[in-house]
Amino acid sequence: MIEVRGLKKSIRNGTRTVEILKGIDLVVPAGEFIAIMGASGSGKSTLLGLLAGLDTPTEGQVLLDGTEISHLAEDELAQVRGRKIGFVFQSYQLIPTLTALENVLLPHELNSSGDGLERSRNLLRSVGLGDRMHHYPVQLSGGEQQRVALARAFVVEPPIVMADEPTGNLDSTNGEHVLSLLLDRNRETATTLVLVTHDPAIADRADRRIVLRDGLILSDDRRVNHSNEDHR
């Protein structure tokens, strides 16, 4: 589902070039849940952004479901992202002038045909927000906003969901709720799940844990994961 070949990313800082990723090779099979870990500055969020097509590599390739995305024109890249990826940000990234229902519906209107309204309603019900559909983000708690963001990521039924510290701004109860919703999606629909986290307890629930250090893969371990055995 995801293939990375010789991925490098560097930026210019004045007269100096800073290497963020120094050569990443990675293959993620369909349906796998991988957790990406590493200290601050290790390159994990940069890697996730490159996998999602939110940034362009300095060198190397990223293939999503067989499509090479690294150097696509922006309109073609937007179409691939819209069909293949649901992205969940730590900071929710909801549109403040849209209701919860409108936020969820928007990707469907941009990327899919047919009426997505009932699907959007059902997704909000499934994340426990059936009574909050017409509330604006400012009227929702952090946990509620993140659940809206999850429903939005799921609305076009993407084969890949990527999440950058999705529980990082939440208390333990809301964090567990959000993680459970992501795991349910991975188990029930075989959605490939790529999650950046600093929390070892979350990584322990993944099929595979990848640790970055200084822009390189330090370790890549497949794990015995009893909680996910029902979809293996």
Chain segment 165-178, per-residue pLDDT in tens: 999 889 999 999 99
Residue whose structure tokens are 């969940």: 88
Could you tell me the two tokens for 195?
């999650």
Whether residue 40 is contained in a domain is answered as yes
Determine the average pLDDT of the residues in 8-13: 91
Sheet containing 2-13: order of strands: 16-28, 2-13, 59-64, 67-68
> What is the DSSP annotation of 156-222?
T--SEEEEESTTTTS-HHHHHHHHHHHHHHHHHH--EEEEE-S-HHHHTTSSEEEEEETTEEEEEEE
Whether residue 231 is contained in a domain is answered as no
Q: Is the predicted pLDDT of residue 49 greater than 50, yes or no?
A: yes
Quick one: pLDDT band at residue 2, thresholds 50, 70, 90?
Answer: very high
Determine the average pLDDT of the residues in 149-166: 94
Q: Work out how many domains the chain is built from and give that number.
A: 1
Centre a 10 Å sphere on the Cβ of residue 26 and count the other Cβ atoms it contains.
Answer: 18
Whether residue 7 is contained in a domain is answered as no
Average pLDDT over the chain reads: 91
Tell me the residue range of the domain where 204 lies. 30-56+73-226
Domain of 214, CATH number, reads 3.40.50.300
Whether residue 10 is contained in a domain is answered as no
Whether residue 23 is contained in a domain is answered as no
Chain segment 96-122, per-residue pLDDT in tens: 999 999 999 999 988 776 778 999 999
**36 and 195 Cβ atoms separated by less than 8 Å:** yes
Quick one: pLDDT band at residue 227, thresholds 50, 70, 90?
Answer: very low
Whether residue 17 is contained in a domain is answered as no
Whether residue 99 is contained in a domain is answered as yes
Whether residue 142 is contained in a domain is answered as yes
Q: Is the predicted pLDDT of residue 224 greater than 70, yes or no?
A: no
Report residue 91: phi and psi, to 5°. -95, 20
